Amino acid sequence: AGEWLGLGFVNLLHLFSPEKLIVGGSVATLGDLILEPARRIITRELLDEGFYHDDLLVPAHFGDDVCLVGAALYAQQMVQREPQR
């Protein structure tokens, strides 16, 4: 699974050239078990080897709770915009 994830990340890197790829949810929870194979594929398949750096692929700070935190922030924004609802 990590290798397929790595191939997907390579495609994203080639298309968008982000400075970092931040992964959350269950992928972040699995950590190096899934991220290390992904990193190997990224280093092997990237067209521009100079683009890769050690902190290119990092787990999200909130890990598996990233969706919950996002939903809470969204709810907070909605209340601040329309408090009468």
Q: How far apart (Å, rounded) are the C-alpha atoms in residues 1 and 37?
A: 8
Q: Between these two residues, 55 and 7, which has the higher pLDDT value?
A: 7
Mean pLDDT across the stretch 56-71?
85
Compute the mean pLDDT over every residue in the chain, rounded to the nearest whole number. 88
Work out the pLDDT band at 47, boundaries 50, 70, 90: confident
Neighbours of 44 (CB within 10 A): 13
Q: Class of 2-81 per CATH?
A: alpha beta
Mean pLDDT across the stretch 48-67?
81
Q: How far is CA 72 from CA 4, 26, 29, 49, 78, in A?
A: 31, 19, 20, 39, 10
The SS3 of residue 85 is coil
